[in-house]
Chains A and B, each alone.
Chain A
Amino acid sequence: MTALNRAGWRPEMNSAGGADDTVTFTGNRALMLEEPLIFEIGGSETTGVDFDEDAPAADLGALARTAPIGLPGLSESETVRHYTRLSRQNYAIDLGLFPLGSCTMKHNPRLNEKVARMPGFADAHPLQPQETVQGAYAVIHELAEWLIKLTGMHSVAMSPKAGAHGELCGILCIKAALEARGEDRRVILVPESAHGTNPATAAFAGFTVEDIPATPEGRVDLAALKARLGPDVAGVMITNPNTCGLFERDMKAISDAVHAAGGYVYCDGANFNAIVGRVRPGDLGVDAMHINLHKTFSTPHGGGGPGSGPVVLSEALAPFAPLPFVTRQGDDFRLIEEENASEDHPQTFGRMTAFHGQMGMFTRALTYILSHGADGLKQVAEDAVLNANYVLRSLEDVLDAPFAASGPCMHEALFSDKGLAEGFSTLDIAKGLIDEGYHPMTVYFPLVVHGAMLVEPTETESKAVLDQFIGALRSIALRAKNGDPALKSAPHFAPRARLDETLAARKPVLAWEG
């Protein structure tokens, strides 16, 4: 029965048009519109694309595709409606505060989108003759120069496709440097508070991962770290500012100790937004740090990517950077790739991806950087830190803030679930925020805090927005402390109630099976 919308349909809707006029026939509720899958509404002969010609007959023999593929098509009008309806079931920065700690969900300027679509960038092929793509190389080079100067580092590898890919780049540089020294060090030290990608990256590159303990105030335990250093330690991976939202005061001492023991310092730059323009990681002894262009430099997150993770490198690691990269000779730009690497970059560890990296993100990030300039970027860090501290100090009386006593936070405020009523959890607070019209903060990360709630407002939120958010979170925190049962079943006003994740994992349905 096509009038019934399978997406939002429930058994009790069977008898539409009955006496009870609150029953829905369609499954829709005013502007909350349900949308079926393309497989339920599309047809194998329907298409939204016209061609000017008939296709000539192919002569491919046994290789010719004969069986149906099973791909539904929609007309353009149906397509636009399908995806527009889907989009309305998403929360987004464009709709409101998106305080996901560690993710830096700031406003995405639309000039960046316009520039990325200029034909000289968007409609250029990565293997075009070099003389025909000088402008594209110029963008890569100009962005590289900014990243080097903002971080005070020696050079930058631009090709990594995302943060975790950048981590891999840095770790491979360390491996190659150790190999060049003829040393086989197998251990990478990682704090317990690290992003999951850090240990996963080190393991993916063949290292053994060992934890570094934290001090009670949420920072790396320098004494414990020093005690563990030795000839088997290749390096450390430290996030700074760290995932508890704190600046690692001992960063320089950590770097010095690691260097003295023959290791290298990898810095996870996910939180660079807090210090851009105010602190240069190069001054802290860092050897490699990835920069998530989709965080600090505002390239859109796109519902989960694409990211971009250039890695700035110290002089010690620069010779091992991956191919390809762009160099400048006067007004001209040249690509260093496999064919000329033996002369110009002989110690490279190799190649991480096809082509040159995330060009579309480079154009957006450079546009963002030029818009802000050196003064604006410094203001970005200051406002981001100010906003986070404002949230921290405005809520520490109702929510447990485990590290609040150790001083100001950086760009994100960390709370725990301590003090909530029996049976109430961080998850209930998160779902309650949804009903108040907010995307929840990062929850249950970092792992070092019980029921962690990590709030990163970013610098693009006004005081009025923060005041309203603080009020909402305060009210929900009090409800959770008082054991309001309505919170347990939140959200009540979202397109969906809580979803059964156990069912999804126990009986995986990963593709349309109709």
Chain B
Amino acid sequence: MRYLPLTPDDRAAMLDTIGASSIDDLFADVPAEARLDGPIAGLPNHASELAVERHMGALARRSRAAGEGPFFLGAGAYRHHVPASVDHLIQRGEFLTAYTPYQPEIAQGTLQMLFEFQSQVARLLGTDVANASMYDGSTACWEAIVMARRITKRAKALLSTGLHPHYRSVARTMAKYTGDVLVDGDPTLEAGTDWAALAGSIDKEVSCVVVQYPDILGRIDDMTKLAEACQAAGALLIAVVTEPVALGLIKSPGEMGADIVVGEGQSLGVGLQFGGPYVGLFACKTKYVRQMPGRLCGETVDANGKRGFVLTLSTREQHIRREKATSNICTNSGLCALAFSIHMTLLGEAGLRQLAAINHGRAKAAAAELAKVPGVSVLNASFFNEFTLLLPTAARPVIHKLAEKDILGGVSLGRLYPDNAGLENGLVVAVTETVTEADISAFAAALKEVLA
């Protein structure tokens, strides 16, 4: 077996040193009835690299890759071009095969990268500090709600109807078991967000208001007044960003007064990956840092006075605090955070702004083109790179018909809200820099045919 270096002679010599007569002696503590004598029946034995690659390649070809044709899906996962050097660098063995940096003297590469990542994320989201990442946006969102409960000592969270339905579903699942009270609902097909209404329902029981920006329908609005309303009532404003590229063009949630900003960082560096692994962003104001979940990297000096980095404030964490920890999270999303950080470094401020502007411009062009299809209109008053189309018929069957024409035409609200017939004509369309003008024309033409 190509991954196992011990030879039969090695094994015999080692058993001799140990004083065991056979390998079975080492498993003597396993009760006889639980011991398996041979390999588990019905499972194949080892295979060559060639055979495994052939098998996995056949499975891969049974899925359509986004790059094979016109592609317009978003709804929390966005397809952006990732520079070749990102994937090259994250595959360096010193990053790929390192562990959590618990021995900082020989993990400065990972630690400095995390410090840079935290700094980039904090600046992008407009907050003071960010942690070393969470599993993904949806779990980061729930952790933010729990953090707001700890800070405010209140347990009622108001979720904007524009929050991604999976994020909402995660929060609802957890709240069932933790006793948190959630006030939530489906979105309605209106041009603007529901934030004004939300501001009116903040009472003294409310720990936080959770808003997504841009929201699930692609809408963007100014959250300054909502932040003020939260502050007046002693509640926290949690902003959720599922498309961080947007923040190259529009104001950051922190600038508008959000107390905690969480998000999905997948757009930068990570790729679609069929939903994971992704990288959760988690940032907040400095005064709340000791209530944050997850790992934090901080600057310090070594015994010779040289600058260095360590994991810090770990008294918040499970390996120290056990059942009193701020969260049970242990692993972060280190390698995806690295990919995010490298992509962000390659872009820089100028590149990010240009990338964002190109996305917005391309999306505006697509919206204009698609709105010319008879019976189709654009819902949004404003958007970044994603918007909602209103079709004259249910969008879900349309998606399948478009797929037959090799066009992946967005995410239907029927898929996202299967129980809400009032939303079934909605189609969420994302347009990034990877979409060409020809793709847009092909989409519009196919949509016209399908709707005819």
Q: Which residue of B lies closest to A463 (CB)?
A: B10
CB neighbours of B321 from chain A (8 A): 196, 200
A51: chain B residues at CB < 8 Å are 351, 354-355, 358, 433
Residues of A near B63 (CB, < 8 A) are 120-121, 124, 132-136
Q: Could you say which of A71, A114, A127 contacts B120, with CB atoms under 8 Å apart?
A: A71
Please name all residues of chain B whose beta carbon is closer than 8 Å to the beta carbon of A349 when the two chains form the complex: 173, 176-177
Query: Which B residue's beta carbon lies closest to that of A512?
Result: B119
Q: Does B288 interact with chain A (Cβ within 8 Å)?
A: no
Q: A44-B349, A303-B100 are in contact. Are A71 and B123 (CB under 8 A)?
A: yes
Contact check: which of B36, B60, B355 meets A135 at CB < 8 Å? B60
CB-CB under 8 A for A121 and B348, given A175-B177, A304-B331: no
Whether the Cβ atoms of B170 and A86 lie closer than 8 Å is no
Known contacts A95-B93, A352-B173, A495-B105, A44 near B332 by CB under 8 Å: no
Of A156-164, A220-228, A257-265, A471-479, the one touching chain B:
A156-164
**A330 CB-CB contact with B under 8 Å:** no
A202 and B323: CB pair below 8 A? yes
Contact between chains at B301 and A92 (CB < 8 Å):
no
A69 with B123: in contact, given A64-B251, A132-B408 (CB under 8 Å)? Answer: yes
Knowing A56-B357, A126-B272, the reply to whether A164 touches B329 (Cβ < 8 A) is: yes
Residue B13 is within 8 A (CB to CB) of chain A in the complex: yes
B200 sits at the interface (CB 8 A): no
Q: Which among B7, B18, B109, B347 has the greatest number of chain A C-beta atoms within 10 A?
A: B109
User: Do B328 and A197 touch across chains, with their CB atoms under 8 A apart?
Assistant: yes
Q: Does A459 contact B (CB under 8 A)?
A: yes
> In the complex the two chains form, is B347's CB within 8 Å of A48's CB?
yes
Q: Does B43 lie within 8 Å of A510, measured CB to CB?
A: no
B63 → chain A, closest Cβ, in Å?
4
Interface residue ranges of A424-464 to B (CB < 8 Å): 430-431, 434, 439-440, 445, 459-463
Closest chain B residue to A275 by CB distance?
B30
Q: Is A118 positioned at the interface, with any CB of B under 8 Å from its CB?
A: yes
Does any Cβ of A come within 8 Å of B92's Cβ? Answer: yes
Q: Are A122 and B271 in contact (CB under 8 A)?
A: yes
A114 to B95, CA, bound (A): 17
- Contact, CB under 8 Å: A376 / B45: yes
- Interface residue B312 (Cβ < 8 Å from any Cβ of A): yes
A373 and B347 contacting across the interface, CB-CB below 8 Å: no
Contact: B56 with A366, CB < 8 Å?
yes
Give the distance to chain B from A299, nearest Cβ to Cβ, in Å: 9
**Which interface residue of A278, A303, A460 has the most chain B CB atoms within 10 A?**
A303
What does the 1/0 interface line of A344-382 toward B look like (CB < 8 Å)? 000001111111111111010011001111111111101
Assign chain A's interface to a size class: 35 or more
The answer on a CB contact under 8 Å between A90 and B110 is yes
Query: Roughly how many angstroms separate A461 CA and B10 CA in the complex, as a whole number?
Result: 11
A28 at the B interface (CB under 8 A): no
CB of A200 within 8 A of CB of B338, answer no
B298 touches A135 (CB 8 A): no
Give the contacting residue for A339; candidates B11, B76, B419; CB below 8 A: B419
Complex: how many Å from CA A246 to CA B29?
8
B contact residues around A117 at 8 Å (CB)? 87
Q: List chain B residues, Cβ under 8 A from A49.
A: 83, 346-347, 351, 355
User: Which listed segment binds B: A15-23, A99-107, A310-318, A414-422?
Assistant: A99-107
- On whether the beta carbons of B408 and A510 are closer than 8 Å, the reply is no
Q: Which residues of B contact A115 (CB under 8 A)?
A: 52-53, 56-57, 60
Q: Does A30 contact B (CB under 8 A)?
A: no
A124 touches which of B64, B278, B289, B353 (Cβ 8 Å): B64
Question: Contacting chain A: which of B124-132, B183-191, B202-210, B371-379?
Answer: B124-132
Complex Cα distance, B411 from A295, in Å, reads 35
Chain B residues lying within 8 Å of A119, measured Cβ to Cβ, are 60, 65, 67-68
CA distance A251 to B7 in the complex (A): 33
Provide the bound-state CA to CA distance between A92 and B91, in Å: 12
Closest-by-CB residue of A relative to B23 is A382
Q: How far is the CA of A139 from the CA of B58 in the complex (A)?
A: 11
Q: Which residues of B contact A181 (CB under 8 A)?
A: none
Given contacts A37-B115, A90-B107, A92-B93, contact A80 B3 (CB under 8 A): no
A132-B71 Cα distance, complex, nearest whole Å: 12
| B328 A204 Cβ-Cβ under 8 A | yes
- B452 interface contact, C-beta 8 A: no
Q: Do A408 and B97 form a contact, CB below 8 Å, given A64-B251, A91-B107, A123-B66?
A: no
Q: Are B357 and A277 in contact (CB under 8 A)?
A: no
B306 CB contacts on chain A under 8 angstroms: 7-10, 496-497
Q: What is the CB-to-nearest-CB distance from B409 to chain A, in angstroms, rounded to a whole number?
A: 9
Complex partner residue of A363 from B43, B44, B56, B172, CB under 8 angstroms: B56
Q: A500-B300, A504-B300 are in contact. Are A125 and B105 (CB under 8 A)?
A: no
**Chain A residues whose C-beta falls within 8 Å of the C-beta of B338 in the assembled complex:** 83, 302-303
**A150 contacts partner chain B, Cβ-Cβ < 8 Å:** yes
Which has the most chain A C-beta neighbours within 10 Å: B59, B178, B433?
B59
**Which residues on B sit within 8 Å (CB–CB) of A14?**
none
C-alpha gap A463/B15 in the complex (Å): 12
B403: A residues at CB distance < 8 A = 129, 131-132
Task: Verify if A482 is at the interface (C-beta below 8 Å from B).
Answer: no
- Check A58/B276 contact, CB under 8 A, given A80-B85, A100-B99, A138-B59: no
CA separation between A454 and B347, bound complex, in Å?
A: 43
A367 touching B52 by the CB < 8 A rule? yes
**Is A353 within 8 A of B55, CB to CB?**
no
B-chain residues with CB within 8 Å of residue A44 when the two chains form the complex: 348-350
Given the complex of chains A and B, what is the CA–CA distance between A51 and B128 in angstroms?
A: 31
* A294 proximity list for chain B (CB < 8 A): 331
Find chain B residues with CB under 8 A from A501 CB: 104, 300, 310, 312
Chain A residues positioned under 8 Å from B96 (CB to CB): 92, 94, 108, 113, 300, 302
A83 in contact with B275 (CB, 8 Å): no
Report the separation of the CA atoms of residues A37 and B308 in the bound assembly, to the nearest whole angstrom.
11
* Residue from A71, A489, A494 within 8 A of B344 (CB atoms): A71
B55 touches which one: A68, A370, A372 (CB < 8 A)? Answer: A370
Q: Which of B46, B133, B170, B433 contacts A353 (CB 8 A)?
A: B170
- In the complex the two chains form, what is the Cα distance from A375 to B44 in whole Å? 8
The yes or no answer to A328 lying at the interface (CB within 8 A) is no
Q: Nearest-CB distance from A514 to chain B (Å)?
A: 9
Report the bound CA distance from A505 to B310 in whole Å. 9
Is B330 at the interface (CB under 8 A from chain A)?
yes
Nearest CB in chain B: distance from A270 CB, A: 10
In the docked arrangement, what's the CA distance between A410 and B335, Å?
Answer: 30
Q: How far is the CB of A117 from chain B (nearest CB, A)?
A: 8
**A199 and B62 within 8 A (CB):** no
Kindly identify, within residues 1 to 16 of chain B, every residue whose CB is under 8 Å from any CB belonging to chain A: 1-7, 10-11, 13-15
Complex contact A48–B304 (CB within 8 A): no
Within 8 A of B (CB), among A188-209: 195-197, 199-206, 209
B302 partner, pick from A322, A378, A462, A498, beta carbons under 8 A:
A498
Q: Which residues of A contact B132 (CB under 8 A)?
A: 304
CB A453 to nearest CB in B, in angstroms, measures 13
A contact residues around B6 at 8 Å (CB)? 383, 386-387, 459, 462-463
Q: Which single member of A67, A129, A204 contacts B399 (CB below 8 Å)?
A: A129
B139 / chain A contacts, CB cutoff of 8 Å: 161, 165, 352-353
A350 and B348 form a contact (CB under 8 A): no
Q: Which chain B residue has the least Cβ–Cβ distance from A161? A: B135
Chain B, range 218-266, C-beta contacts under 8 Å to A: 220-222, 247-252, 255, 264
A93-B97, A247-B27, A434-B106 are known contacts; what are 15 more A-B pairs with Cβ within 8 Å? A8-B306, A63-B221, A69-B352, A94-B97, A129-B399, A203-B325, A203-B328, A204-B178, A308-B277, A354-B164, A371-B49, A372-B1, A496-B306, A509-B300, A512-B115
Sorted nearest first, the 3 A-B pairs with minimum C-beta distance are A73-B348, A350-B173, A355-B275
List 25 A-B pairs, Cβ < 8 Å.
A8-B306, A56-B357, A63-B222, A70-B349, A80-B85, A84-B89, A90-B110, A124-B65, A125-B272, A196-B322, A206-B177, A278-B30, A278-B36, A279-B34, A352-B173, A354-B76, A370-B44, A370-B47, A374-B39, A387-B6, A392-B18, A434-B103, A460-B3, A495-B106, A499-B300
